[in-house]
Every structure is written in C-alpha cells, then in structure tokens.
Amino acid sequence: MSEIINGAPESATTVGPVGTHATTIDPAVGKEAGTDGVVSTDGKARGYNRSTISQKLAKINPARTPLDTVLRNISSGTTKSDKYEFYSIISRGIACKVKTASIADNVITIELESGIHHLSKDGDLMVPTYNVSSGTAEATDKESAAMVPLVLHIVDINYVNKTISAVAVNAAPIALPADTVMYRMASAKDQDAAISNDPHATPTKDYNYCQRNIMTVSENAFQALQEKEIEFGMAEFKEQAFLDFRYQAETQTIFGPRTLVDGVADGENFIDPITQKRKLHMRGLLDFNIQNVTIPRNDPDAAINSMMEQMFSVNNGSEERIMLYGAGFATFLANSKLWTKQMDAKSTEVKFGIRWKTIESNFGVLRCIYHPALSLLGPYTDCAIIIDPANIRRVDQIKLHQRNLDLQTAGIRNSKDVLLEESWTLEVVNPSTHGLVRLVDVED
C-alpha cells in the first residue's frame, strides 16, 4: 500500500521533510527515486506521472469504492466546458402507442400517443395483440402473443400532428382501439426507390456539469496526530485521506443531484448565498431516469430471475453488466439457492483489482461485488445498483493531479501540504441499461 501512497516501492525508505522535496532512496540501487516510484538512471528524481495518478489512486482498496475504480480504469473522455452535453439515447426505439381509436378503412389514419419519431414512411408495424386467421384479424388476450400477428404498412406520416396513414398487409381493414401498442419492423420499398426515408428522430441530448473535488493532506494535522501516543505514520494518514477522497467521488457518482435554481433544473447558476460564488454539482447515476426495479424479499430465487429479466430485456445493453449491493441485499442473496449454487462453484473473476462474484442467467451475466458505501447510507443497504459499463463513463475537465503546497514558504502557516484535485462529470448513455434494485416487503 505504501507504494501507492508514497509513490515508491514498499522496500524503499523516505528521508527528509514531508512535502515538495521529500527524497526517496531505492535500497536496491542507492539512487534517488522520483515521486512516481521510478528511479532515473542519472540518480535524479523524475516528475510525477500525472497520466497514471488516477489509476494509482484506484489501486488503494479498489473494492471499497468499486464504481469509482471501474470508471477510472475504463475509457474516459475530456471536455473544456463546465457544462458537458452528450447524446443519452443513441438507439432508435421500436414501440409506439395508439392515442385515440381509429376507424376501419382501406387506409387507416392512426393518431399516436408516443413513438411517432421512431417511425418512417414505408415502414412496417407489428400488432402482436391481434391474431390473423383466414385474412381476418381478431383481438387476443393482451398477455398472449399472436400466432400470426397483424402487420400494418405506413404509407404516409405526419410528425407534426403525430398521425400515420397505414394499410393492413395481411388482413382486412381494421379499427384499432386506444392504447394499442405497435412495434416497428422493417421497411418495404418499391422498385423505383433510390433513397430511404430517414426517421424524424434524432438522438436525445442530455447534459451534466463538471464538479470540482479537492482534498488536502495537511502536515499540521499529521503533526497533531503524532503528539498522541498512537503509532500512525504519514503514509497511513495519506491513505485515509485518499480513501475519503474516493468515497466522495463514489457517492457523488451515484447520488449527485440535479440542481434547481428558482424552481428550474439549471445547476449552472447555483450560487452559494454566503460566498456568492458559483458551485457546480454533478448529476449522479440515479438522476438519469434509469430503471427502478422492485423485487420481493420473501422469494429470493424468483426475485433474482425477475430482476435479471427486467434489467437485460427491452434495452440494447451489454450481455455482461456489474452489480453493486449493500449489506442487506447481500443477506437477501445469501438466502437464494440460485446465488449460493453459483458461489459454491467458485464463480469469480478478478478485474481492476476487484474479485467479482459471477451470476449467470438466461438473460445475461452479472459481475457482483459488495459495496460498503451503500451499507453506510441507511436504507440503501437493501439496494443494489446494476450498471452497464459500455454505457457509462467519466469525462474529465481537469484530470486528477497532485500538487505540493509549501505554505511555510508562502507565509501562510508552518506546514507543507499535499493537494489532490480533479474536475469531472458523468456521462450516462441509454439509461434503461442501468437500474436501481430495491427490496420490498410483500404480504404472503
């Protein structure tokens, strides 16, 4: 651990005052090492490697803050702006819903409540709640899939009025009632067509703000601790400060708020009424309209299967995702035969220094880890967070870096402090691929 904190091999010793000019001697070669723990061939110290400090920090107890560990290790982006904009929905939807009942005709005019922007002229729509037999479409039980579903072909579309004109392909003209759900299929073009009719839909834009996070390790505070009759070195003191720094980043990543200014979601103009200075807040994962999954705690096996179905179906997420869970949720998992059977099979995998427990189902694979922070946050101990790593990343405005503050020379106080600073934000794409899972009590 001291390799991460001091930036030197564990066998090395540090001499001189803590601060800017602390010197590390590698006992193997007897030469001065740089703050990145690498000994120069000329015996001189090398500067801190800022491009890897974030990964080095992530090696400090990586399982304590697993989401922060993952985000610091997977690909990340950069931005120069305080407000970072991105496309949150990059896939084209497939479902649309009828708003008002239509009238049966050769060309049916259908007003849609939702999904108009997913559609395009010459496209086909499937209506699974109508079964076609001998050219006649009859309604089925809404919970049952039709053997031969009704298919409509769009011949015209009005995005402004949210209406489509469609023809029944495999059945006689039919009137569709309100709330009928239809699903987009392929398109059917005539032989003279040379171009496609692009849908009116564009990716949904979202945004987030870059939040500045800093942490100072004070030599004064360390000296005060040294006056106690407790063996607590500067390395341990730095380690605790770094862990707290990562805890702050971890909780903000999950629970960061959408700031309101005068009742409007703004955030850019949030002003501290005391200092009169602007303070930006980063929106966390739970603020991005991710799935809200509730499962009963009294039937763990059925609940886990239901959770997997809800999280892996009806979205375009990855086959493998990660799950972070609190202590209460861990107890719930332990009561599941499905979970214990796979754990008995030693289904684990090490990634980013974390030993993930693996649970497989017919829907997908979850890499799971107990999350200590959730257990510390009241009712979230009974929760789990499922994340698709392919649809989330951190975007850096100011990359994590370390600066030595010689406050003694500056005449501020008799202390040489270390400042760790970063400014970044969270990008969440395809929110339905992530979810918060909550245990609920269900009466027998």
Enumerate the domain spans of the chain.
1-49, 50-90+203-444, 95-187
Q: Are 61 and 189 in contact (CB under 8 A)?
A: no
Indicate the pTM of the whole model. Answer: 0.71
Q: Per-residue confidence at 331, pLDDT binned at 50, 70, 90?
A: very high
Which residues touch 80 (CB under 8 Å, ≥6 apart)? Answer: 397
Which class is 95-187 in CATH?
mainly beta
Q: Per-residue confidence at 58, pLDDT binned at 50, 70, 90?
A: low
Q: Which of 25-39, 359-373, 380-394 has the lowest mean pLDDT?
A: 25-39
pLDDT of residue 119: 87
Which residues touch 201 (CB under 8 Å, ≥6 apart)? Answer: 92, 93, 117, 118
How many angstroms separate the CA atoms of 374 and 385, rounded?
Answer: 9
Mean pLDDT value of segment 114-141: 87
Tokens standing for 239? 């380690």
pLDDT of residue 391: 92
pLDDT of residue 98: 93
Query: Same fold for the domain at 50-90+203-444 and the one at 95-187?
Result: no
How many angstroms separate the CA atoms of 409 and 411, rounded?
Answer: 5
pLDDT tens digits for range 391-411: 999 999 988 887 777 766 666
- Round the average pLDDT of the chain to a whole number and report it: 78
pLDDT of residue 272: 81
Residue 390 has pLDDT above 50, yes or no: yes
Residue 12 has pLDDT above 50, yes or no: no
What percentage of the chain exceeds 90 in pLDDT?
29
Tokens standing for 145? 């899939």
Tokens standing for 397? 């405005």
The domain made up of 50-90+203-444 is a member of CATH 3.90.1690: yes
How many angstroms separate the CA atoms of 3 and 24, rounded?
Answer: 11
Q: Per-residue confidence at 260, pLDDT binned at 50, 70, 90?
A: confident
Q: Per-residue confidence at 5, pLDDT binned at 50, 70, 90?
A: very low
Q: Per-residue confidence at 261, pLDDT binned at 50, 70, 90?
A: low
Q: Which residue has the higher pLDDT, 407 or 373?
A: 373
pLDDT tens digits for range 268-296: 777 888 888 888 889 999 999 899 999 99
Q: Are 390 and 381 in contact (CB under 8 A)?
A: no
CB atoms within 10 A of CB 71: 23
Mean pLDDT value of segment 365-380: 91
pLDDT of residue 21: 32
pLDDT of residue 40: 35
CB atoms within 10 A of CB 170: 13
pLDDT of residue 329: 95
Q: Distance between the two ends of the chain, CA-based, in angstroms? A: 50
pLDDT of residue 380: 93
What percentage of the chain exceeds 70 in pLDDT?
75
Secondary structure in 3-state letters for the chain: CHHHHHCCCCCCEEECCCCCCCEEEECCCCEEECCCCCECCCCCCCCCCCCCHHHHHHCCCHHHCHHHHHHHHCCCEECCCCEEEEEEECCCCCEEEECCCCCCCCCEEEEEEECHHHCCCCEEEEEEEEEEECCEEEECCCCCCCCCEEEEEEEEEECCCCEEEEEECCCCCCCCCCCCEEEEEEECCCCCCCCCCCCCCCCEEEEEECEEEEEEECHHHHHHHHCCCCCCCHHHHHHHHHHHHHHHHHHHHHHCCCCEECCEECCCCCECCCCCCECCCCCCHHHCCCEEEEEECCCHHHHHHHHHHHHHCCCCCCCEEEEEECHHHHHHHHCCHHHHHHHHCCCEEEECCEEEEEEECCCCEEEEEECHHHHHCHHHHHEEEEECHHHEEEEEEEEEEEEEEECCCCCCCCCEEEEEEEEEEEEECCHHHCEEEEEECCCC
Virtual torsion, Cα 115, 119, 124, 126, nearest 10 deg: -10
pLDDT tens digits for range 176-231: 999 899 999 888 888 887 777 766 656 678 889 998 888 877 765 555 545 555 55
Q: Per-residue confidence at 420, pLDDT binned at 50, 70, 90?
A: confident
Mean pLDDT value of segment 325-352: 87
pLDDT tens digits for range 143-190: 678 889 999 999 999 988 899 999 999 999 888 999 899 999 888 888
Residue 287 — φ and ψ, nearest 5°? -90, 0
Q: Which residue has the higher pLDDT, 444 or 226?
A: 226
pLDDT tens digits for range 65-103: 888 888 888 878 899 988 899 888 766 778 889 999 988
Residue 241 has pLDDT above 50, yes or no: yes
Residue 226 burial (10 A CB sphere; 0-12, 13-18, 19+): middle
